[in-house]
Amino acid sequence: MGKKLVLTEKPSVANDIARVLGQFTNHKEYLEGENYIITWALGHLVTLAEPEDYEKRLKSWRLNLLPIIPENFFLKPIPGAEKRLEVIRKLATRKEVEGLVNACDAGREGELIFRYIYEFLELDKPVWRLWLSSMTREAIVQAFRELKVAEEYELLAQAARSRSEGDWLVGINGTRAFTTRYKILLSVGRVQTPTLAILVHREREIQQFQPVPYFEVFATFSLPQGHYTGKWHNGEDRLFEREKAQGIIDRVAGKRGVVVHFTEQKTAEAHPLLYDLTELQREANRLFGYSAQRTLDLAQRLYEHYKLITYPRTSSRYLSNDLLGQVEKSLAMLDRCGFHDFVASITALEHLSDRRIFDRSKVSDHHAIIPTGEEIAWEELPEAEKKIMDLVVRRFISVFYPEAIWMHRAIKTEVEGEKFVSKSKVLLEAGWRKLYRSEEDQEEYLPRVEEGTEVGVERVWMEKKETKAPPRYTEATLLSAMEGAGRFVEDEELREILKESGIGTPATRAAIIERLIEVGYVEREGKTLFPTPKGMELIHLVESIPVSELASPQLTGEWEKKLNLIERGEFSRENFMKEIRDLSIEIVEKVKTQEVGDVRAKMNSAVGNCPLCAAPVYEGKKSFFCSRWKEGCSFSVWKKIAGKTLTRRQVQKLLTEKRTGRIAGFRSRQGKRFAASLVLGEDGKVVFDFTREIEPQSVDGEKK
């Protein structure tokens, strides 16, 4: 009897499988047992070849060599992968190996990793697919019992190849076209560019926004059972002229009013849906300030290393009915692991008909993220992993709880013809919110009053406010925008289609955000994301050519939709690739005809003025420096100070206001993290200020 070679995506998964199957000898580069040999990739070992691998002359970035459209795509190893590929080749070609098992991650990208390796090594043995949604012993054993032939995943592989080749065509041609035309490195892509455009469009709104002052009028009313406050409302609740607001105050001050309307209504709030990756990332960013990438890394660790949650890179928020046993096992585990008071009365079977939990039609490759049922040793989990695990556990338990019941009360009061509205919303029955009571700010009940009741005006006043610009995106709100990209599209039919796709996938959105930061188009400060001048100008350039879809969610949304259709056999890979080739040609041709202008200057505009000589300060690779440095001005601010990389905006604030706000993430020489403000002295030196509790300390910049 022959053996099967199992290829995993990571060594940790190989070791987990070997422990479950048992009786394996460790040969360092692979594990061998009676029926299986297990080895691993290290993520992507093989990638699409570079243009110069097709023709040497294409190594030169020249506009007249574009577009580059390979008739057939070649593969090549990533740097340093040759040794690992040779191990896989030798094992796969051993005589006793009858075939291979693709045990890479169960999804589009895992399929691509295996297929590229198999194709590059020119293997021809049969292939089976191991599809894992969790890393527990039971899940691994069951997955090996249910090995499928690779042909059943051919459509998934086609979608994966199409995504990879499509991104190559648009990325290579777009990046080389814009870079060579404008003489500055400009990275563009079908996913990262529309994501950047969302941030840029919001920044333009903020920059163009002009605040408008307005006034709101409030009054406190008294009656025997207490008092309450109302807000003036007569069709609208804002007054843009102080005189009108004062006139209302003068009319009602010290007068008697009457309750003209009172309502009391209970409303039910259904439990939230289970987590998919994007919703988990949103919550972790909102509550803890974690980046999308950090949340993904933590969730992946809880999945792979601790075996505590199911496959995290999922886009589904539902479970299929056949997971009832898994659900009951998880509830039993939580009963023992700190959540007895919450789960003791839950019987999962009673909830099988709840379509907000169990709905097979809304589960494709992977179901929602839930606990696996493995015992949780909370004290052994690092703090960050503990926080993510707690989110998953509480969301999982909450879906088996009844609705939360709210009591809404509203009072309309009239005084001298002026109307005031009072509202309160109080949690009457916690239901599923019992899991989240610490988050809930309780309002006070409005008193229950009869219509026609007279009230006295105790106090009346106005508050001056200003209209506000829309807020900048956080990672949480950007993830929502990427997921719901249809709302940025004017075409109604396409907007409906985009509800199912959006920009990128749950598994790739974090990497897209990190890529935008890496190439200098976006800066992150705390939770907030800011486009840089380079990012702003790139979107201006892209939108100034007639192929404006490159900066629109419409393009990537259509493509994600079509990739999903390819997976289901409802759209052809050939048609998809033709559309991408045509678009790549169109981008190049239209960039060639564009006016160049002074793009470089716009992308690296001055950060501020030098405190020593008043000359402009510019951003360099390692520091922000005075433009008169050749004339002897020594002023500069290192980009990296005490392990923390400063953003352009922070340095702008330092130059204009002589101090920044409080910045977290610095690291002392002893490795301890701390927060401080940066202060600019008269001599141009930058020092730490620890909220003025101690004397400012000097700052050491980092050149690397």
DSSP, residue by residue, 309-335: B--SS-----B-GGGHHHHHHHHHHHH
Return the residue matching tokens 């993430």: 665
Confidence of residue 704 (pLDDT cuts 50, 70, 90): very low
CATH 3.40.50.140 for domain 3-45+81-146: yes
| Model pLDDT, residue 516 | 95
| Model pLDDT, residue 491 | 53
Query: What whole-number distance in Å separates Cα of residue 174 and Cα of residue 190?
Result: 9
510 backbone φψ class: left, alpha, beta (φ>0; ψ -120 to 50): alpha
Instruction: Say whether pLDDT at 439 is over 60.
Output: no
pTM: 0.83
Query: What whole-number distance in Å separates Cα of residue 140 and Cα of residue 322?
Result: 17
Confidence of residue 233 (pLDDT cuts 50, 70, 90): very high
- Diameter of the chain measured on Cα atoms: 99
| The pair of three-digit structure tokens given for residue 310, joined into one six-digit string | 């199911």
Confidence of residue 490 (pLDDT cuts 50, 70, 90): low
- For domain 163-208+474-592, give the fold: Topoisomerase I; domain 2 (1.10.460)
Query: What whole-number distance in Å separates Cα of residue 526 and Cα of residue 472?
Result: 12
Instruction: Say whether pLDDT at 600 is over 90.
Output: no
Query: What whole-number distance in Å separates Cα of residue 567 and Cα of residue 565?
Result: 5
Q: So where are the chain's domains?
A: 3-45+81-146, 163-208+474-592, 213-271+408-466, 277-398, 606-702
Average pLDDT, the chain: 90
pLDDT tens-digit series, residues 355-405: 999 998 888 778 999 999 999 999 999 999 999 999 999 999 999 999 999
The whole-number average pLDDT for the span 616-634 is 90
| Model pLDDT, residue 580 | 93
Confidence of residue 9 (pLDDT cuts 50, 70, 90): very high
**Residue 525: exposed, middle, or buried by beta-carbon count in 10 A (0-12, 13-18, 19+)?**
middle
Under a CB-based contact definition with an 8 Å cutoff, are residues 156 and 571 in contact? no
Residue 626 burial (CB count, 10 A): 24
| Model pLDDT, residue 499 | 59
- Which of 481, 388, 575, 578 is CA-nearest to residue 197? 481
DSSP-assigned letter for residue 76: E
| Model pLDDT, residue 442 | 61
Instruction: Say whether pLDDT at 670 is over 90.
Output: no
| Model pLDDT, residue 40 | 96
- For domain 213-271+408-466, give the fold: Topoisomerase I; domain 3 (2.70.20)
Instruction: Say whether pLDDT at 78 is over 50.
Output: yes
- Between the ranges 484-493, 521-530, 540-549, where is the mean pLDDT highest? 521-530
Query: What whole-number distance in Å separates Cα of residue 259 and Cα of residue 446?
Result: 13
Coil, strand or helix at 22: coil
Residue 260 burial (CB count, 10 A): 14
| The pair of three-digit structure tokens given for residue 203, joined into one six-digit string | 């920044």
| Model pLDDT, residue 693 | 43
The whole-number average pLDDT for the span 128-142 is 87
> Percentage of the chain with pLDDT > 90?
67
Phi, psi (deg, nearest 5) at residue 272: -70, 165
Looking at the chain, the number of H-run helices and the number of E-run strands are: 21, 28
Coil, strand or helix at 28: coil
The whole-number average pLDDT for the span 607-631 is 90
Under a CB-based contact definition with an 8 Å cutoff, are residues 291 and 298 in contact? no
| The pair of three-digit structure tokens given for residue 426, joined into one six-digit string | 């109080």
> Percentage of the chain with pLDDT > 70?
94
- Cis check: omega of the bond before 211, within 30 degrees of 0: no
E-strand stretches of 497-615: 522-525, 528-531, 608-609
The whole-number average pLDDT for the span 488-493 is 55
CA-based end-to-end distance of the chain: 57
Coil, strand or helix at 435: helix
Alpha-carbon torsion angle 286, 288, 290, 296, nearest 10: -90
Instruction: Say whether pLDDT at 703 is over 90.
Output: no
pLDDT tens-digit series, residues 244-257: 999 999 999 999 99
Confidence of residue 554 (pLDDT cuts 50, 70, 90): confident
Query: What whole-number distance in Å separates Cα of residue 70 and Cα of residue 516?
Result: 27
Pairing of strands 418-429, 528-531: unpaired
Return the residue matching tokens 């950090």: 294
Instruction: Say whether pLDDT at 193 is over 50.
Output: yes
Residues serving a catalytic function are 311
At the second CATH level, the architecture of 277-398 is Orthogonal Bundle (1.10)
Return the residue matching tokens 């420096």: 625
Higher-confidence residue: 535 or 443?
535
- Which of 665, 638, 597 is CA-nearest to residue 183? 597
Confidence of residue 135 (pLDDT cuts 50, 70, 90): confident
Mean pLDDT lowest among 48-62, 414-428, 493-507: 493-507
